[in-house]
Amino acid sequence: MRKRIVSARKFVKPSFAYLIEKKRDGGEFNHDEIRFIVDSIVDKELPQHQLAALCMAIYFQNMSAQETATLAEEMMLSGDVVDLSKITKPKIDKYSTGGVGDKTSLVLVPLAAACGVVMPNMNGVDEEFVISNLDKLGAIPGFNPSLTLDKFVDQLSTVGCTIAEQRKEIAPVDEVFYQMRQLTATVPSLPLITASVLSRKLAQGAEGLVVDVKWGNGSFIKDVEQAKQLARSITRVGRSMKRRCVALVTDINQPLGDSVGTGLEIQEAVKLLKGEGTEDLQELVLKLGMEIVRLAGVAGSTLSAKQTVQRALKEGAAFEKFKEMVAAQGGKTDVLDDPEKFPKAKYVRKLPAPKRGYVHTINAGMIARGVQLLGQNKKGKLDPAVGVSEIQKVGTQVKQGEPLMMIHYNDESKLESALDYLRSAYRLAPKRPNPPELIVERVA
Amino acid sequence: MRKRIVSARKFVKPSFAYLIEKKRDGGEFNHDEIRFIVDSIVDKELPQHQLAALCMAIYFQNMSAQETATLAEEMMLSGDVVDLSKITKPKIDKYSTGGVGDKTSLVLVPLAAACGVVMPNMNGVDEEFVISNLDKLGAIPGFNPSLTLDKFVDQLSTVGCTIAEQRKEIAPVDEVFYQMRQLTATVPSLPLITASVLSRKLAQGAEGLVVDVKWGNGSFIKDVEQAKQLARSITRVGRSMKRRCVALVTDINQPLGDSVGTGLEIQEAVKLLKGEGTEDLQELVLKLGMEIVRLAGVAGSTLSAKQTVQRALKEGAAFEKFKEMVAAQGGKTDVLDDPEKFPKAKYVRKLPAPKRGYVHTINAGMIARGVQLLGQNKKGKLDPAVGVSEIQKVGTQVKQGEPLMMIHYNDESKLESALDYLRSAYRLAPKRPNPPELIVERVA
């Protein structure tokens, strides 16, 4: 049994079958019942098949905001809770549901720290085809994602930010739930996603949370309504837990920015940290950055938030903070100062446009699969030099034969099958399409 | 892998998570998929947690009649299928969802055999508070419920009927499903109940099935609509499997007949086999008996069905057949000829009416619990002498102090707690209530 203050009230343990039945019939668990479920998982007393049935019952019947908040809190308490009380600065984290080409966290974490907001960022494994932030940072020689909790707190005190690997000590019950959800087709359950995110982020020491819920063909959320529901669920439950929480629902029906890969995305992140890069990414970094500094209380008005963020980018503070963080985690920063020093692919070739026209749609998921085929070794690790760059975005006009993107690869034998995906990802049309709306909704 | 003719078509095995997701989203399994699920259970390759999630997804999304029929057939084929082709008489079985005081199967099985209909009856464990037929027959000294499949077939050839224990060789996958359903609050799933009943009954050699779906406070089905749905589900799926199938939805908002117990119910069954007993039971035996002989083709018209059944009761053929069956299974029949030879309880006392009035409602479940408290030993076995008799039924007028029932017991220390239940089961009212409708619906 985990150590905790046990309530003096008498609670008669119900049977697991009774709890499943209660949820099956749409009932709402009380605090004692949720604590009992979480304790039983910690103590390995809840049989796998009953946890499975419970997940499916929750999938169909959902949980109220109060129930989900209680679950998140109990899951948070199932492991270590990082104590950042000695750090006086505001502590805010950023969470993205993940998307193809999304390198905003790499930029926002040091950017926020440069603005005086501590970011205790840990990263788990991402869904499906999305390359994780840690895989990307792995392209920097020497970078170490694995921090003990003591080191994690140290680095937050000295540098002000981390991008570290999820620790086993943080919300261990979340790991049990997540593995079960993958095996039982209950990953998309809104209350279970919500409790998972909040339990981990709050256990890592965040006082508030800015969430980016991405919807589209480059995300595991293909439906905008589902994305909106998740944004509302996380913010509502976060509020129930007395935490500040803002969510943006954003479009990822094409890759974010103009590169997909590990080393290539780090290079793009460096550009963004200097205030350069594609329009969509610049806008998203600005908007999310403004949410962070306002939530943290570092900036009061929209205007001052914008100025704070833009200054940190333009004056180089964000980039300096990034290098400081990388160095603190053992990474070599010379590749960041001089991108020429990044490992280069043996071959670079263009993907030619098959005809003239406008880029009408891009299936980001297919681009991700193409990059995986191109650069993944048998252990699933991506070659840091491999990927695609200079992606022409939706709305761009191209002539026949002009590059839709540049393909970086080391293994010629993998090119053909990758090209199938990359080619199929593009649809050209004679008329200019309406540009997709990048930020669909803000939920606070 | 069980032995069977494997289809020549190519079937690519899906992942279990995919199958769960398909059902979660309301998809319909094809034959290959259902066969794969059942084979995987037989081969112990379907993990418990994934079976649990699948059961819950089926609970919420249901299965079509075709899907359920395929599941029932594959479950049937998961074990031995009894071959009764050498017996030329029609082979029909009767299934009741079970209810407090329901002794119709004890009567109908020999009655049908006396009318020339072979009844290959096997019994599983009953739901919750219901005393099983085998427990009741256990009150007859020497009675052996356990027949090997060879003995089962032999007795059907010679006597024409059995009331035997469910064999492990029959539909073993049903047992796996059932245990899982009990642990995961998915017992009430209509398609899973339907497939369970049909797979077992058809594997036991029945060509057709007469079903009694009981609803009310003496059944695990408390809702008449749910009972109707189950009746429709079993008959519809039975038809899909090309079997004759009739179901009656009947009331059990009070105990059936006037006794609850083991020895006491056997004595009541003997009365019924002689054409005596309470009105409700006599009517139900007649109606179900008529369905059986008509379904079997032994009687063509309603009138001839009625005459056939009544003759078998009045002329003693049904009672003789019952004794023949009991003797074939090792039981002593002298207690049946002379009920005085049944073990008697040390004490018999009345439950007095607390006031004058009409019996308005009886909670049959509470009477069953009272009898359990009164006579069950630590292993859950009921004392054959213990129970209640002369139950006054709904609509009866009683004076204060007149017996509502007679209580038979051996252990005085258990009386008080049992009395609490028995007393609370009765509600008296000054006005005569409308009599409950015994047969609510016939589904064919």
* B274-283 pLDDT tens trace: 989 999 999 9
Cβ–Cβ gap A24/B50 under 8 Å = no
For residue A10, is pLDDT > 90? no
Do B331 and B369 lie in one domain? The reply is no
Binning chain A into helix, strand and coil, the percentages to the nearest 5 are 45, 15, 40
Q: What is the pLDDT of residue A126?
A: 62
pLDDT surpassing 80 at residue A8 = no
Mean pLDDT over B347-366 rounds to 96
Whether the predicted pLDDT of A136 surpasses 70: yes
For residue B230, the distance in angstroms to the closest alpha carbon of chain A comes to 19
pLDDT over 90, % of chain B: 90
| Pair B128, B297: CB distance under 8 Å | no
Q: How far is B56 from chain A, CA to nearest CA, in Å?
A: 6
The reply to whether residue B60 touches residue A60, judged by beta carbons under 8 angstroms, is yes
Distance, CA of A386 to CA of A135 (rounded, Å): 13
**Does the CA dihedral B201-B206-B207-B213 come out positive or negative?**
negative
- Check A53 against B55: CB less than 8 A apart: yes
Question: What tens digit of pLDDT does each residue of B203-253 get?
Answer: 999 999 999 999 999 998 999 999 999 999 999 999 999 999 999 999 999
CB B336 within 8 A of CB B326: yes
The pLDDT tens digits of the residues spanning B170-193 come to 999 999 999 999 999 999 899 999
- The Cα–Cα gap between A277 and A257 comes to 7
Decide which of A337, A366, A381 is a domain's last residue: A337
Which has the higher per-residue pLDDT, B341 or B295? B295
A124 has pLDDT over 80:
no
The pLDDT value given to residue A128? 66
For residues A334-357, give the mean pLDDT: 94
Is the CB of B46 inside 8 Å of chain A's CB atoms?
A: no
**Residue A45, CA distances (Å) to A18, A36, A42, B184 in order:** 15, 10, 8, 15
- Band the pLDDT of B125: cuts 50, 70, 90: low
Cα B435 to Cα A279, B113, B115, B389, B425, distances in angstroms: 78, 33, 32, 21, 17
A98 and A44 in a single domain? The answer is no
Q: CA–CA separation, A84 vs A117, rounded Å?
A: 13
Which residues in A lie closer than 8 A to residue B17 (C-beta atoms)? 182-185
Same structural domain, A295 and A392:
no
B23 lies in a domain?
Answer: yes
C-alpha A325/C-alpha A164 separation (Å) is 10
Q: Is A48 on the interface with B (CB under 8 A)?
A: yes
On whether both B23 and B102 belong to a single domain, the answer is no
Residues A254 and A380 in one domain: no
The answer, yes or no, to whether residue A86 has pLDDT greater than 90, is yes
Task: Give the pLDDT score at A52.
Answer: 98
State the Cα torsion A179-A185-A190-A191 to the nearest 10°: -50
- What are the strands, taking DSSP E only, across B77-171? 92-96, 119-123, 161-165
SS3 assignment, position B13: coil
Task: Kindly state whether B429 is in contact with chain A, defined as any CB-CB distance less than 8 angstroms.
Answer: no
Both B278 and B360 in one domain: the answer is no
Residue B163 above 60 pLDDT?
yes
Which structural domain, as residue segments, surrounds residue A414?
A: 344-429
Indicate if the pLDDT at residue A2 is higher than 60.
no
Type and span of the H or E element at A386: none
Subunit contact A24:B53, Cβ cutoff 8 A: no
Cα distance between residue B291 and residue A228, in whole Å: 57
Q: Report the alpha-carbon distance of residue A331 to residue A138 in Å, rounded.
A: 9
Whether the predicted pLDDT of B1 surpasses 50: no
- 8 Å CB contact between B422 and B290: no
Confidence of residue B128 (pLDDT cuts 50, 70, 90): low
Neighbours of A31 (CB within 10 A): 16
> Within this chain, do residues A402 and A327 fall inside the same structural domain, yes or no?
no
Is residue A255 in a domain? Answer: yes
* CATH number (domain holding residue A210): 3.40.1030.10
Number of domains within chain A: 3
Nearest CA in chain A to B180: A49
pLDDT tens for B20-60 read 999 999 999 999 999 999 999 999 999 999 999 999 999 99
State the best of A49, A179, A222 to mutate against chain B, taking most chain B CBs within 10 Å. Answer: A49
pLDDT tens for A142-187 read 999 999 999 999 999 999 999 999 999 999 999 999 999 999 999 9
Asked whether residue B318 is assigned to any structural domain, the reply reads: yes
B178/B281 same-domain check:
yes
Contacts of B192 in chain A (CB under 8 A): none
CATH of residue B43's domain is: 1.20.970.10
Nearest-CA distance A355 → chain B (Å):
38
Question: Do A130 and A104 contact (CB within 8 A), yes or no?
Answer: no
Residues B181 and B56 in one domain: no
Instruction: Flag whether B417 is in a domain.
Output: yes
For tokens 């018999």, the residue is B348
Cα→Cα distances A25→A21, A282, B60, B230, B354, Å = 6, 47, 10, 19, 38
Give residue B130's pLDDT: 83
Within a domain: A78: no
Tokens of B56: 């819950």
- Tell me the average pLDDT across B258-277: 95
Choose among B400, B405, B402: nearest CA to B418.
Answer: B405
Q: Looking at the domain assignment, is residue B350 inside a domain?
A: yes
ipTM: 0.85
Residue B439 lies in a domain: no
Q: What string of H, E and C letters represents the secondary structure of A329-380?
A: CCCCCHHHHCHHHCCCCCEEEEEECCCCEEEEEECHHHHHHHHHHHHECCCC
Over residues B296-311, mean pLDDT = 95
Q: What is the pLDDT of residue B220?
A: 87
A168 and A101 both lie in a single domain = yes
The mean pLDDT of B380-390, rounded to a whole number, is 93
From A20, A180, A183, residue closest to B184, measured CB to CB: A20
- What are the pLDDT digits (tens) for B57-94? 999 999 999 999 999 999 999 999 999 999 999 999 99
Which residue among B277, B304, B337 closes a domain?
B337
Q: Is position A7 within any domain?
A: no
Distance CA A55, CA A189 (A): 8
Is B177 touching A (CB cutoff 8 A)? no
Residue after which a domain boundary falls, among B318, B337, B356: B337
Tell whether A17 is within 8 A of chain B (Cβ): yes
- Same structural domain for residues A241 and A273? yes
Buried b (16+ CB within 10 A) or exposed e, A347-381: eeeebebeeebbbebbbbbbbbbbbbbbbeeeeee
| Chain B residues inside the 8 Å CB shell of A56 | 20, 24, 52-53, 56-57, 60
Examine the domain organization and report whether A41 and A119 are in the same domain. no
User: Which residues of chain B have a CB within 8 Å of the CB of A185?
Assistant: 17-18, 20-21, 24, 53, 57
pLDDT score, position B90: 97
Q: What is the pTM of this model?
A: 0.88
Structure confidence at residue A366 as a pLDDT band (50, 70, 90): very high
Q: Spell out the residues 6+ positions from residue A304 whose beta carbon is closer than 8 angstroms to its own.
A: none
pLDDT at A4: 54
Mean pLDDT, residues A191-211:
96
Please give the Cα distance from B104 to B348 (Å, whole number).
26
